[in-house]
Chains A and B, each alone.
Chain A
Amino acid sequence: MPALRPRLGSSPLLRHLLVALVGGAVALAVLTAVDDFRAGQLAAMAYLGIAAAGLTVLTGLNGQLSLGHGAFMAIGAYTAALFLGDVEPAAPLAVVLLAATAVASLVGLVVGLAAARLHGPYLAGATLALAVAVPGLAIYFGDTLGGEQGLSVRVPEPPAWFADLLFFLTAVDPSRGRFVAYLSWFVLIVVLVLLANLSQSRVGRTWRAVRDHEVAAELAGISLTRARVVAFVVSAATAGLAGALMAMVVRLTAPSGFTLTLSLTLLTAVVLGGLGSLAGALIGAALLTFLPQVVTGIGSDLGLDDVQSAELAPLVYGVVMILVILLAPAGLVGTLQGWRLRRRAAAGPAAPAVPATARPSDPTRPSDPTRPSDPTHPTHPTHPTDKAGRA
């Protein structure tokens, strides 16, 4: 293994593909082993993970905050629903997914052009407005988009070659629901590999430069606007793709599925995992998917009724979100890495260099545990130590 590492480490693409292959095999095995209910949950985790990964690229790498990614998911979901409605014959899956991605990208381009000129709270407010505004359109154009009831989505039949392949690999025939779960995880892995490569490429470095040193980036000939818009489009496209999968998993696309809560939930996933970390986004998505069940169970044990118990999960997210910001702004992954790096550093100069310690699947690991350039990091070295604070 030690001999293998430098060779693999030398090519990010190879490394990512290897991790993706292993991840894909594990996902295939797990999805085959679990029951239908769990498969549904895992499918939900996959689409949340895709959307969160897109958001973490935008917020973590490019420093733009979006509270409106639920809106892009809605756009992707409605696009998919229109393709997968009553029209016969249903369009091929790839076409549906690409169309959802394309439409979300287009809207993302428009929003991104405006967003590129906004900072901090202005951008937050504008994207918040987007999240609130988009579901209203579905009601306004009720004839096409189904109004409050929404559009029901027919889950596509798995293609024959896929059924055959799966039968060959696992000796089971996939149900439609199961097929969507496999599909979601496949898309998740593809998206993660693409985003991981993107963030390690020149583009990703450009985005980070724009985030950390606006002026320096501009002096170096980087167009701030273009970098921001491209980041926004990529992120919106990813969210749209996630929305399309969500439509297939939920089998319904309605305004009530795209409330402000969805957008804030995505942000929660990103903050929980650590802004800018794809692995963190995945962990965040997993927490969002599986925590509610656990917490709701605890609520029932405490004697709360079902409706109340269901509210415990968001309560926990919110509290954790606040605690993360107050105590560990680098998120779970960032904090663990920082802690590990510090420990290695403390162990002496013989400790291996950073790349060997960082997870290969995480393209955005901090090269320096203190990450002074990270906008979300709290310990900006303010020079004069302010005495006593304010009374």
Chain B
Amino acid sequence: MLEVRDLSASYGAVKALDGVSFDAADGQITAVLGANGAGKTTLLRTLSGLVRPTAGSARLGSTDLLRTPVEEMTRTGLAHVPEGRGVITELTVEENLRLGALGAPSGGERRFDVDRVTELFPVLGQRRHQVADTLSGGERQMLVIGRALLAEPRILLLDEPSLGLAPRVVAQIFALLRDLVSSTGLSVLLVEQNARSALGIADVGIVLNLGRLVVQQAADTLVDDDQLRHAYLGF
């Protein structure tokens, strides 16, 4: 369980996050929605330690995330796939995956290995020895998700996985994500502009506006709330 309380962060004088509190339960997909500049990416970057918070707390189980250095995050069970995918294009597909596995917590059971990931994403298996620079957008998204899974996370932070992808590819990746969560008990914090698709697979949605949490509700309730949808989600 991820517990976020009164989390605030700022870029200089601009408050990017302003007292955000929510819980993300295990085994659930929590969609983080809102317009550009609402603070979604900042939320993820603060949780994974790339941005220093100005106030508040964030715990993952018994771990105080805000006291954990970035490079320790994967070992506490948090994997962050940054915006713009974060494929290391100079490395091969396999090397990217190996790198993910190197970050897994020591000990503990391994649910994923490179073979399992290439089973989930067969195209990665075919391109295993290619340099990642040669992958398409959708393949890159699969690679970074697969790489994050190899770190054996308890919670996966995904930043805009649908960005620039064809709707068909988005649907494929989202369906896979839903299956993974159901089969492994992984929890996912899914930041999306594409609110309709995200709510389609999410259990819970939270909406940010100008750095504040507007609402946290079950995903289907959110979809039905016309007023909220029009005001913040744009569909």
A contact residues vs B (CB 8 Å cutoff): 381, 383-388, 390-391
Q: Are B69 and A387 in contact (CB under 8 A)?
A: yes
Contacts of B50 in A (CB 8 A): 384, 386-387
- B70 A388 Cβ-Cβ under 8 A: yes
Residues of the B chain whose Cβ atoms lie less than 8 Å from the Cβ of A385: 51-52
Query: What residues on A are CB-neighbors of B45 within 8 Å?
Result: 384
| B112 within 8 Å of A (CB atoms) | no
**Residue positions of B touching A, CB distance < 8 A:** 11-12, 45, 49-52, 69-71
Interchain nearest-CB distance for B171 vs A (Å): 33
Q: Beyond A383-B11, A383-B12, A384-B45, is A391–B52 a contact (Cβ under 8 Å)?
A: no
Residue ID in chain A nearest B69 by CB atoms: A388
Interfacial chain B residues near A386, Cβ < 8 Å: 50, 52
> Beyond A381-B12, A383-B11, A384-B45: 11 further Cβ-contacts under 8 Å?
A384-B50, A384-B52, A385-B51, A386-B50, A386-B52, A387-B51, A387-B52, A387-B69, A390-B71, A391-B69, A391-B71
Some 24 contacts from A to B, beta carbons below 8 A apart, are A381-B12, A383-B11, A383-B12, A384-B11, A384-B45, A384-B50, A384-B51, A384-B52, A385-B51, A385-B52, A386-B50, A386-B52, A387-B49, A387-B50, A387-B51, A387-B52, A387-B69, A387-B70, A388-B49, A388-B69, A388-B70, A390-B71, A391-B69, A391-B71
B71 contacts which chain A residues (CB < 8 A)?
A: 390-391
Contacts of A388 in B (CB 8 A): 49, 69-70
Q: How far is the CA of A385 from the CA of B12 in the complex (A)?
A: 9
User: What are the 7 A-B residue pairs with the smallest beta carbon separation, nearest first?
Assistant: A383-B11, A384-B51, A387-B52, A385-B52, A388-B69, A387-B49, A391-B69
What distance in Å separates the Cβ of A17 from its nearest Cβ neighbour in chain B?
Answer: 44
Contacts of B49 in A (CB 8 A): 387-388
B53, chain A: closest CB distance, angstroms: 9
Most chain-B CB neighbours within 10 Å: which of A384, A386, A390, A391?
Answer: A384
A386 to B53, CA, bound (A): 10
Most buried by B among A381, A388, A390, A391: A388
Residue of B nearest to A385 (CB): B52
Give complex CA distance A381, B10 in Å: 13
Residues of A within 8 A of B51 (CB): 384-385, 387
For the complex, give the distance between the alpha carbons of A81 and B50 in Å.
Answer: 61
Nearest-Cβ distance from residue B13 to partner chain A, whole angstroms: 11
| B58 CB, nearest partner CB in chain A, Å | 12
When distances are taken between beta carbons in the complex, the residues of chain B under 8 Å from A381 are 12
Bound: A386/B71 CA distance, A: 12
With a cutoff of 8 Å between Cβ atoms, the chain A residues found around residue B69 in the complex are 387-388, 391
B103 to chain A, nearest CB (A): 14
Give Cα A384 to B71, complex, Å.
17
A390 contact set on B, CB distance < 8 A = 71
A388: nearest chain-B partner, CB-CB: B69
Shortest CB distance B95–A (Å): 21
CB distance from B43 to the nearest CB of A (A): 13
A358→B201 CA distance, assembly (Å): 64
Nearest chain B residue, comparing its CB with the CB of A387: B52
B212 to chain A, nearest CB (A): 19
Shortest Cβ gap from B54 to chain A (Å): 9
List of B residues within 8 angstroms of A387 by Cβ: 49-52, 69-70
A211 to B111, CA, bound (A): 54
Q: How far is the CA of A388 from the CA of B48 in the complex (A)?
A: 12
Q: How far is the CB of A370 from chain B (nearest CB, A)?
A: 13
Q: How far is the CB of A7 from the nearest CB of chain B, in Å?
A: 40
Q: Which residues of B contact A391 (CB under 8 A)?
A: 69, 71
CA separation between A349 and B45, bound complex, in Å?
Answer: 39
How distant is the Cα of A382 from the Cα of B70 in the complex, in angstroms? Answer: 18
Tell me the bound Cα distance from A335 to B71 in angstroms.
36
Complex Cα distance A329/B83, Å? 34
A311 to B88, CA, bound (A): 47
